[in-house]
A and B are shown apart, each in its own frame.
Chain A
């Protein structure tokens, strides 16, 4: 007999035995998949990858990078999916690292990770304006022939506007979070459809065009941008005149392997459902399915869309444009990106409206996921007593104090980004350290917490050649993040920061976590309850 409370209620006029009682959790399988897919902001990453790859590993092949990255990222997904199934609590790695290793390591790791998200929240809040709204207005203005839109796009890229609009954007995120999880889930589900429609429109434009169409269409695009002299060949020649050399095709495989951190970076966020673990329905099954489904969906989308973009626009052209963007007064117009170049391939205003709207929404939705993750972590620490319990104060729709703190810090970060830039903080190193520790925790889980492991869902106890799968996944995850961490510390093109100060700041963030934990223990005279 179907269980009416969970599936398909019977219309029969008889009472039924009730199996489930208790708690309504707002994240069903689909909602969790959406949350994770927004977590890596598919449409946002598609726009950024060409420039990032060109500036770090120009000879790498985007498809190979994605294949290598996805294979290794799969193990990261397994670690978080299995932990999320075994310990479905809000706070994610704070809970499972704390339980497997020590509460102190759990808190410090989670502290470092949360600061990476707070930083990201501010930076992406500003980027929503500079990298999404501004190019969208410019691109749409060009396609439809409305200079006012193009001018507005240029104007909103100014620091004052970036801060003002970024702050408004972040405040809107805070307001939704205060309305409760259900409102958040509905908003994410609804806008996800629009964002995906934009990505599909991007695919339609790319798959209907050929390389020759881009060469023919580019001069028209450049004319509308006020640079009629720039043709396809002209841009390549301009780059060469500034010292750019086309990369050799012989080291494609090696460069693609070295670009592995980017192959992982495109998926950062696909495990974020573990941070709302307590709110996920049937987490024993849902977490791993939603995490791996998001990874698979991301891989397919990236592989075909980015691969096609490289085919149509050309790797050398992408590399040359990225090179020129790093040269002052190169003669290239500002703000050239994937969405702008799509203007050379199609003049269908409806498709462009969808693409640009979708891109803005991908950026915007990412803020909700990051903010929700930060609020959950802060709340989990406070509920445990790892930070003052007053931070867990609840309003009608959720943790009011934690939400105010998160949005407040994000606005400060957005101000820093808009007026000065936060190029001294190594965002990637901040979260990679936490994920690396999670890999170590996974390797030790079956041995340090035998009883908990034995009582975990069957899938968490799977073995391969006699060894628990979570141990193998943990080992590969640890290697992956050692590589990502190393790359973020040594490759400025990847991390976006240079010198020793960013590394010192990363250490300072983690050390401050240790200080907060020690202070909290002394204040309460006991270990937090996560112990």
Chain B
């Protein structure tokens, strides 16, 4: 079974080999969080040992064709259905014979909400910046237990501040969120879930001190989000509220 510990070296090798070909890839998702949270992950070994089946990568939109050619050259198989979708900005791949599975998004990430990652893709390495890692977890409308724990670990291990450097860049979070009321709404809902879980002390095996940091930082994020001046379009959309669907419907990738 693949775990974070066994999969990370493979992912890092892939990123390094791509860089040698002039292609910039960055890790995101659970594996990136595992990489970024050395302190918190000690308390969640059971979650990480349960297995991670694929790696999530982000790339630049201009490099999609190059990435796909490279993957084919390295012997990976590309998902034909996703490949025939011109606007997917995604590549789903697997090793021939059922080896490594992976998913690469280019320029933007389209899940429950659209997130533009192109401008800040090079702000960190080998993962996306921590702010984007957190946003990618908190934007999920279908917020699952594993997403909750991932987001909690990020908040437990990284302070919310201005600027990156292993911190949650508040400015970057606000810049993304204030463009889209739907994203802000999902973020707020999930922060509430997170706060509720932390206050009940049910964030897995995180120690009380770490859960306290989660509460403090999640509260700070919510406060800053609510107090930030909102653009006109944001305010108009806010009036419609949940009467209009505010998120993308996320479908299965489909069979190979």
Which A residues form the contact surface with B (CB < 8 A)?
A: 3-6, 9, 11, 13-26, 28, 88-91, 95, 180-182, 278-279, 281-282, 375-376, 379-380, 383-384, 389, 392-399, 402, 529
Establish whether residues B253 and A23, one from each chain, have CB atoms under 8 Å apart when the complex forms: yes
Establish whether residues B144 and A279, one from each chain, have CB atoms under 8 Å apart when the complex forms: no
Establish whether residues A279 and B85, one from each chain, have CB atoms under 8 Å apart when the complex forms: yes
In chain B, residues 206-256, which have Cβ atoms closer than 8 Å to a Cβ of chain A? 247-254
Contact status of A24 and B111, CB under 8 A, knowing A15-B145, A16-B143: yes
Contact status of A23 and B144, CB under 8 A, knowing A181-B87, A379-B86, A399-B86: no
In the assembled complex, the CB of A278 is this many whole angstroms from the nearest CB of chain B, namely 4
Residue of A nearest to B111 (CB): A24
Residue of B nearest to A13 (CB): B196
Residue of A nearest to B106 (CB): A394
Contact status of A394 and B85, CB under 8 A, knowing A5-B249, A15-B143, A15-B144: no
CB within 8 A of B87: which of A4, A11, A26, A389?
A: A26
Contact with A along B131-157 (1 / 0, CB 8 A): 000000000111111011000000000
Contacts of A380 in B (CB 8 A): 84
Which B residues form the contact surface with A (CB < 8 A)?
A: 61, 64-65, 80-90, 92, 103, 107, 110-112, 140-145, 147-148, 189, 192-193, 196-197, 247-254
Establish whether residues B85 and A278, one from each chain, have CB atoms under 8 Å apart when the complex forms: yes
CA–CA, A95 to B84, complex, Å?
10
Report the number of A-B residue pairs with Cβ-Cβ less than 8 Å.
125
Top 6 nearest A-B pairs by Cβ distance?
A5-B142, A22-B253, A18-B144, A278-B85, A181-B87, A90-B84
CA–CA, A384 to B81, complex, Å?
11
Establish whether residues A20 and B252, one from each chain, have CB atoms under 8 Å apart when the complex forms: yes
CA–CA, A182 to B88, complex, Å?
11
Contacts of A5 in B (CB 8 A): 112, 140-142, 247, 249-250
CA–CA, A177 to B84, complex, Å?
16
In the assembled complex, the CB of A4 is this many whole angstroms from the nearest CB of chain B, namely 5
Contacts of B89 in A (CB 8 A): 394
CB within 8 A of A25: which of B197, B247, B251?
A: B251
CB within 8 A of B84: which of A22, A26, A383?
A: A383
**Most interface-central of B88, B92, B140, B196 (chain A CB within 10 A):** B88
Establish whether residues B86 and A375, one from each chain, have CB atoms under 8 Å apart when the complex forms: yes
Establish whether residues B65 and A17, one from each chain, have CB atoms under 8 Å apart when the complex forms: no
CA–CA, A397 to B84, complex, Å?
14
Establish whether residues A379 and B251, one from each chain, have CB atoms under 8 Å apart when the complex forms: no
CA–CA, A17 to B143, complex, Å?
7
CA–CA, A16 to B146, complex, Å?
10
Establish whether residues B111 and A13, one from each chain, have CB atoms under 8 Å apart when the complex forms: no
Contact status of A6 and B249, CB under 8 A, knowing A15-B148, A90-B85, A393-B65: yes
Contacts of A6 in B (CB 8 A): 249-250
Establish whether residues B142 and A18, one from each chain, have CB atoms under 8 Å apart when the complex forms: yes
In the assembled complex, the CB of A476 is this many whole angstroms from the nearest CB of chain B, namely 29
In the assembled complex, the CB of A185 is this many whole angstroms from the nearest CB of chain B, namely 10
Residue of A nearest to B151 (CB): A15
Establish whether residues B143 and A394, one from each chain, have CB atoms under 8 Å apart when the complex forms: no
Contacts of B86 in A (CB 8 A): 90, 181, 375-376, 379, 392, 394, 398-399, 402
